[in-house]
Amino acid sequence: MIGFIQQLGRRTPLGWLQLNREKSRLLVALSGIAFADLLMFMQLGFQSALFDSNTRLHSSMDADIFLVSPQARNLANMSSFTRRRLYQAMDVQGVKSATGVYVNFVDWKNPQTHKKTSVLVMGFDPDKQIFDLPEVKRQQNVLKLPNSVIFDRASRGEYQQTFAQIDQGKPVNTEIDRQTITINGLFKVGASFIADGTLITSDQTFLRLFPKRDASSLSIGLLNLQPGYDPKQVADALKLQLGNDVKVLTKTEFIEVEKHYWQTNTAIGFIFSLGVSMGFMVGVIIVYQVLSTDVNAHIKEYATFKAMGYNNFYLLGVVFEEAIILAILGFLPGLGVSFGLYALTRNATNLPLIMTVARAIQVQVLTMIMCMISGAIATRKVQSADPADMF
How far apart are alpha carbons 225 and 236 in whole angstroms?
13
Residue 2: predicted pLDDT: 46
From residue 94, alpha-carbon distances to 98, 347, 374 in Å are 12, 44, 58
Report the predicted TM-score, pTM, of the whole model to 2 decimal places: 0.77
DSSP string spanning 338-372?
Answer: HHHHHHHHHHHH-------HHHHHHHHHHHHHHHH
Residue 298 in 3-state DSSP? coil
Q: What does DSSP say about strands 179-187 and 148-152: parallel, antiparallel, or unpaired?
A: parallel
Residue 150: predicted pLDDT: 94
Residue 206: predicted pLDDT: 94
Residue 12: predicted pLDDT: 62
Per-residue pLDDT of the chain (391 residues; tens, 9 = 90+): 444 444 444 556 666 777 667 777 788 888 888 888 898 999 899 888 888 888 888 889 999 999 999 888 888 788 889 999 999 999 999 999 999 999 998 888 888 888 888 899 999 999 998 999 999 999 999 999 999 999 999 888 889 999 999 999 899 999 988 889 999 999 998 888 788 889 999 999 999 999 888 889 999 999 999 998 999 999 999 998 887 889 999 999 999 998 888 888 777 778 888 888 888 888 888 888 877 777 776 667 666 766 676 666 776 777 778 788 888 888 999 999 999 999 998 888 778 888 999 999 999 998 888 888 888 787 776 666 666 555 5
Residue 310: predicted pLDDT: 67
Residue 315: predicted pLDDT: 67
Q: How many CA atoms lie within 13 A of 318 on its CB side?
A: 27
How far apart are alpha carbons 280 and 187 in whole angstroms?
40
Residue 123 in 3-state DSSP? strand
Q: Where are the domains of the chain?
A: 2-54+267-390, 70-245
